[in-house]
Amino acid sequence: MGKVTVIKIGGNVIDNPEALKRFLGSFAQLPDDNVLIHGGGKVATQVAEKLGVQTTMVDGRRITDRPMLDVVTMVYGGLVNKQIVAQLQALGTNAIGLTGADGGTVLAHKRPVKEIDYGFVGDIEEVNSGQLQAFIRQDLTPVYAPLTYDREGNILNTNADTMASAIAVDLAAHNEVTLVYCFEKKGVLSNPDDDQSVIAELTPSVYAEYKASGAINKGMIPKLDNAFRALDKGVSKVIICHADELALAVASGAGTTLTQSV
């Protein structure tokens, strides 16, 4: 059984060229096989404004109508993805930039309309990890933009945290998989205003307590929900850490490690 580390890098790091450079330097030095999934950051909003495309957000989530779908496809799958791939090549990592449509690796369907119509947003149906592992066997490092595809031939804007979790779970059927979420905080915090209040280990029961108290809230909740589901479905370990501490987190522990029990 091989070892694979699936790493998701957040949009706030993508928006900071120096932070992204440091992260990619660490990523390029990691052992074993690795898969990178990146967020989109604010670049899509900036490009949309230049093109006269309106940006609409609901509870921090982008409404992806047809004009915005064109923008995120260009920005996430093109500009951001290929800049990351080029930097990794310069660091000696033979990266291949992908969306879920490439090689048919991540199939999704358009999210059903309920209270809110999110537009062309994808909910993942399945991951073709066989094709993904074929890339890895060719000594290629997959770098995924947060885009999937559906059976009707549409590209779909897809949450990068969810995409990382789905890829990790499917790879876990034949590999020992560590899932790492890197962002601008040192881990999951017991006090959102204190960056030193890192919770070293988080179990489902402790997570429930912090949610009830309001200490863990907003965007951290879907991230952690995805993480615990990944553990339930076979992923060996989930780590949430600062992008600058990636190497330490993978090697010996930094940030917050999620476990099923104490």
pLDDT digits (tens, 9 = 90+) for 82-119: 999 999 999 999 999 999 999 999 999 999 998 899 99
CB atoms within 10 A of CB 170: 24
What pLDDT is stored for residue 96 in this prediction?
98
Task: Using pLDDT thresholds of 50, 70 and 90, give the confidence band for residue 151.
Answer: very high
Q: Give dist(CA 135, CA 205) in Å, integer.
A: 38
By residue count, the chain amounts to 262
Task: Give CA angle at 142 (139, 148), nearest 5°.
Answer: 150
Write the DSSP symbol of residue 216: S
Joined together, the tokens standing for residue 18 give: 């120096």
Q: How far is CA 94 from the centre of its chain?
A: 20
Task: Using pLDDT thresholds of 50, 70 and 90, give the confidence band for residue 190.
Answer: confident
Express each pLDDT in 210-227 by its tens digit: 888 888 887 788 888 888
41 annotated ligand binder = yes
Please name the amino acid found at residue 59. Answer: D
What pLDDT is stored for residue 1 in this prediction?
66
Domain that holds residue 12: 2-258
Share of the chain above pLDDT 90, in %: 70
CB atoms within 10 A of CB 147: 27
Question: What's the total number of domains in the chain?
Answer: 1
Q: Give dist(CA 19, CA 220) in Å, integer.
A: 21
DSSP H helices, the chain, are 11-14, 17-28, 43-51, 66-74, 81-90, 129-137, 160-171, 204-213, 220-232, 246-251
What pLDDT is stored for residue 240 in this prediction?
94
What pLDDT is stored for residue 257 in this prediction?
93
Q: Give dist(CA 20, CA 25) in Å, integer.
A: 9
Q: How far is CA 63 from the centre of its chain?
A: 19
Write the DSSP symbol of residue 78: I
Phi-psi region of 214 (alpha: psi -120 to 50; beta: other; left: phi over 0): left
CATH code for the domain of 101: 3.40.1160.10
Q: Give dist(CA 87, CA 228) in Å, integer.
A: 32
Q: What is the dihedral angle through the alpha carbons of 224, 229, 234, 239, rounded to the nearest 10 degrees?
A: 0
Over the chain, what is the mean pLDDT? 92
3 state DSSP class of 36: strand
Q: How far is CA 186 from the centre of its chain?
A: 17
Task: Give CA angle at 122 (121, 126), nearest 5°.
Answer: 175
40 annotated ligand binder = yes
Task: Using pLDDT thresholds of 50, 70 and 90, give the confidence band for residue 261.
Answer: low
